[in-house]
Amino acid sequence: MPTNVSPEFDRQRQVYEDTEDMAQRIVELEKLLSLAPRHKGAERMVGDYRKKLAVLKAKLEKKEEQERARRRGGSEEGVIRKEGAGQICLVGVTNSGKSSLINAVTNADFAVGEYPFTTTIPTPAMMTLEDINIQLVELPGIFEGSHEAGIGRQALSVARNTDCIAIIVDLSKDIESQMSVILSELDAARIRLNREKTAVRIERVGLGGLQVFGIQNFEGSKEEVLEYLKARKVSNIIVRFQKPATFQQLADAMDASVAYVRAMIVATKGDTNGSMERFEELESRYGGRFDIVPTSVARNENLDGMSWALYNHLDILRVYTKIPGKKKEDRPIVLPEGSIVEDAASKVHKELFVERFRAAVILRKDDKIKRRQVGLNYPLQDGDVLQLMTR
């Protein structure tokens, strides 16, 4: 049916059809609709344009949402898949010796260079410590404004989701200029370091489903937590109740805009001139806030000490299961600190085990009571040997 339209409407229709930019297209379409004839014969055409407008608006919202997520660092791009018992990100200015350090404690062979930005993307390697593997990730050198630049933003989004940040400080160069750029860039990326352990720690992960640890610290039940997470359409997450926590504290912890990450300082190039004095300066300024470990790759000094310090900052514990009459398992179950027998049991056999659980016996070397019979709520310690008994 031919629709009688005004010449203004016709002109505007041409403008709308020629406009490519989505936001502008919406503006032009709204204007077009305001010029549309009101009579009955035009209803169908107006209806079609209204539908187009709704679709355009939905697309624009979606696009803006994705851009916001990218700015927040929530996109998949540049994310390193976590492997091993924990992940540690090395964050420092360029040339501070990050690759050399990783090469010294892993089988990796990262390029080492005197020139800046040898490492340009987040790069992982695996460090074996006794019976567990810890993933070390070198992030490209941090510089002023890196939280706004492409590679810097990508690096900081990895740092946001990591288990621990190792701040790398080069003892052959000025301390304060390194620390100030590192701390201010992390802060600008809304990453908070070593804040008092929060009651609830949230870790967003790529897979693994909904995992809840330390439920005895929560005022409600595990089912309640799972329902809440499902209602928020979260499909992969780790929730750790590290201290007595209320429902409100759980909700606050779910706010993704600020990340709380454990951190320590690794000082490198302890063999260079003036490194002693700079280490003392580092200690006096930052020793209160961070544990600081000096190293030298050139002299192969304190690399073991550094590795264990990193392990301690992961806040994890190792538990070895054992069948009565047999040797304990060689490979530990790794759990967050604060975990209880139930957490270990559900890692062994998922739900089934918890249901059939009768009792557990914990064997501790340095304990007065060598064999402790305990229930599902009993807190675990690093090195515990655990016998689980089922009905």
Sites of contact with ligand GTP (CB under 6 A): 92, 94-100, 112-114, 116-119, 141, 268-269, 271-272, 296-298
157 lines the binding site for Mg ion (CB under 5 A): no
75 lines the binding site for Mg ion (CB under 5 A): no
99 lines the binding site for Mg ion (CB under 5 A): yes
- Picked from Mg ion, ligand GTP, none, the partner binding residue 113 (CB below 5 to 8 A depending on kind) is ligand GTP
Residue whose CB is less far from Mg ion, 168 or 385: 168
- Picked from Mg ion, ligand GTP, none, the partner binding residue 240 (CB below 5 to 8 A depending on kind) is none
Q: Which helix (H) or strand (E) holds 238?
A: strand 237-241
Give residue 92's identity as a one-letter amino acid code: G
- Picked from Mg ion, ligand GTP, none, the partner binding residue 116 (CB below 5 to 8 A depending on kind) is ligand GTP
- CA–CA dist 98, 168 (Å, integer): 7
- CA–CA dist 145, 204 (Å, integer): 26
Name which position in 96, 106, 119, 339 contacts Mg ion (CB under 5 A).
119
Least distance from ligand GTP to the Cβ atom of residue 102, Å: 8
94 lines the binding site for Mg ion (CB under 5 A): no
Is the distance from CB of 100 to CB of 182 less than 8 angstroms?
no
Sign of the CA dihedral running 136, 140, 146, 149? negative
- CA–CA dist 189, 5 (Å, integer): 53
Residue whose CB is less far from Mg ion, 119 or 275: 119
Least distance from ligand GTP to the Cβ atom of residue 141, Å: 4
Least distance from Mg ion to the Cβ atom of residue 119, Å: 3
Contacts of 164 (CB under 8 A, 6+ apart): 86, 87, 88, 89, 261, 262, 263, 264, 310, 313, 314
- Picked from ligand GTP, Mg ion, none, the partner binding residue 338 (CB below 5 to 8 A depending on kind) is none
Residue whose CB is less far from Mg ion, 74 or 78: 78
Is the distance from CB of 387 to CB of 360 less than 8 angstroms?
yes
Least distance from ligand GTP to the Cβ atom of residue 103, Å: 7
118 lines the binding site for Mg ion (CB under 5 A): yes
- Picked from ligand GTP, Mg ion, none, the partner binding residue 145 (CB below 5 to 8 A depending on kind) is none
- CA–CA dist 207, 223 (Å, integer): 20
- CA–CA dist 359, 389 (Å, integer): 5
Gyration radius (Cα) of the chain, Å: 28
- Picked from ligand GTP, Mg ion, none, the partner binding residue 95 (CB below 5 to 8 A depending on kind) is ligand GTP
- CA–CA dist 123, 216 (Å, integer): 37
Binding interface with Mg ion (CB under 5 A): 98-99, 118-119
